[in-house]
Amino acid sequence: TVGAVAVDVQGNIACATSTGGMINKMEGRVGDTPCIGCGGYADNQIGAVSPTGHGEAIMKIVLSRLILFHMEQGKSPKEASDMALAYMKERVSGLGGVVVVDPKGTWAARFSSQQMPWAAAQQEQLHYGMFHGE
């Protein structure tokens, strides 16, 4: 799975996610990616999310919208992501990761899986990582 979130100079926000799915999946299996609120969500008033991970777990907890619910209640993108990923792990034993932005341009790349390659560009700086703590 690959995904992106962005805020432009007008303050507009968008998300995109694309995937080949799960390895050796059943024919016709569809995961979270094309499901709004699960495989992505964007709202100028709150922020945007693009997730990856256990698709069925992401669908059960509606991960993208759950993160934005936490942000609506005042959590930062990082806090909201960690809360939602922890909930997904606890409730449905699902692992995954997300990239998130808010309307001010605050961003986060968080994951409960072992790895998630990510990169962010802002103010002429490129940030990137793959493992926890990077």
Partner 1 sequence: MLPVVVVHGGAGHVPKERAELSIAGMQEAARLGYAILKSGGTAMDAVVETVAMLENNPAFNAGRGSVLNLKGEVEMDALVMDGRTLACGAVSAVRRVANPIHLARLVMDKTSHVCLTAEGASQFARAMGIPEVPEESLITDYARKRWKDNLHKDANPVECQIGKMG
- Which residues belong to the active site? 1
DSSP-derived secondary structure letter, 62:
T
By C-beta, is 30 or 90 nearer to partner 1? 30
Near partner 1 in 78-117, by CB under 8 A: 95-101, 105, 107-109, 111, 113-117
- Rounded Cα distance between 113 and 124, Å, is 29
Token pair recorded at residue 84: 């939602």
Q: Does 29 bind partner 1 (CB under 8 A)?
A: yes
Shortest Å distance, C-beta 42 to partner 1: 4
7 touching partner 1, by CB under 8 A: yes
Pick from 86, 91, 121, 132 the residue near partner 1 by CB under 8 A.
121
Identify residues 46-75 at the interface with partner 1 (CB under 8 A).
47-48, 50, 52-55
Q: Judging by beta carbons within 10 Å of its beta carbon (0-12, 13-18, 19+), is residue 86 exposed, middle or buried?
A: exposed
Minimum CB separation of residue 33 from partner 1 in Å reads: 4
The candidate with the shortest Cα–Cα distance to 57, out of 23, 85, 29, 79, is 85
Please name which of 45, 77, 50, 76 lies closest in space to residue 63, comparing C-alpha atoms.
50
13 touches partner 1 (CB under 8 A): yes
